[in-house]
Amino acid sequence: MNSYNGWTNYQTWRINLEVFDGFDIEGYSNDVYELSNELKTYIEDYLSETTNEGLALDYAMAFISEVNFYEIAENLLGSK
């Protein structure tokens, strides 16, 4: 297992730290599975809206494909 700072992997740790640390989940689902899907969609939409199509977007999407959004959702719901 390639855990990183107590998280599943570096990608999960980094996205949690830089995007979801202090994230207000009001208005989002209270179900871990549903919230994990909402978080993934949030990131994908953000990247699509702020990054031009091409290599940079491809690399960003590849990076987030390794993120354990379920773990982030668990963390966000546990800290409510």
User: 8-36, pLDDT tens digit by residue?
Assistant: 999 999 999 999 999 999 999 999 999 99
In a domain, 4, yes or no: no
Residue 7: strand, helix, or coil: strand
Query: End-to-end CA distance of the chain, in Å?
Result: 28
- The per-residue pLDDT for 80 is 46
In a domain, 43, yes or no: yes
Domain count of the chain?
1
Average pLDDT for residues 29-48, to the nearest whole number? 97
- The per-residue pLDDT for 79 is 58
- The per-residue pLDDT for 67 is 98
In a domain, 69, yes or no: yes
Interior angle at CA 40, CA 71 and CA 67, nearest 5: 50
In a domain, 58, yes or no: yes
Q: Which domain holds residue 70?
A: 10-78
In a domain, 5, yes or no: no
Provide the pLDDT confidence category of residue 2 given band limits of 50, 70 and 90.
low
Average pLDDT for residues 37-45, to the nearest whole number? 98
